[in-house]
Amino acid sequence: MKKEDSKRTVLAYLNSRSLIQGMSSIYLKKNLEWLINENGRSMSLLASKANMKKSTLHGYLNGVLPRALPGLMELAKALHVAPQDLLFKDLQEEPISSPPKNIEGRYELVLRRIESEE
């Protein structure tokens, strides 16, 4: 399998805005705002620690969803939270899981419809 094909497989749910927008349990924007305020971090410092452009982080804070898993992983690492918690938990309401010590490796994300709007 080509490297590009594996990236498409891993990022399929993130790259399809129509799938992601239909989900009601994405907390990235809310969690980022809360974590930045809680820790007194600046956007510039956080962007630097996550090896991303400040404009990318600004986009996330304005509701833009990640297009690449490695960037999301770096952001979660910089915030000391597990990537799945950053996306799918309301961190103000639920405890934060410890991030994995080693986030490198292959990942498989599966998205399946559990209800149909008809």
pLDDT in tens, 42-63: 889 999 999 999 999 999 999 8
* pLDDT at residue 98, as a whole number: 57
How does the average pLDDT of the chain come out, rounded?
Answer: 75
Number of H helices, E strands in the chain: 8, 0
List the CATH number of the domain containing 15. Answer: 1.10.260.40
- Structural domain includes residue 111: no
- The burial of 48, by beta-carbon neighbours within 10 Å (0-12 exposed, 13-18 middle, 19 or more buried), is given as middle
CA distance 66 to 70: 10
Using alpha carbons, select from 23, 18, 11, 22 the residue that is nearest to residue 83. Answer: 11
pTM for the model stands at 0.61
Mean pLDDT of 57-81: 88
- Structural domain includes residue 114: no
* pLDDT at residue 101, as a whole number: 60
Mean pLDDT of 87-101: 74
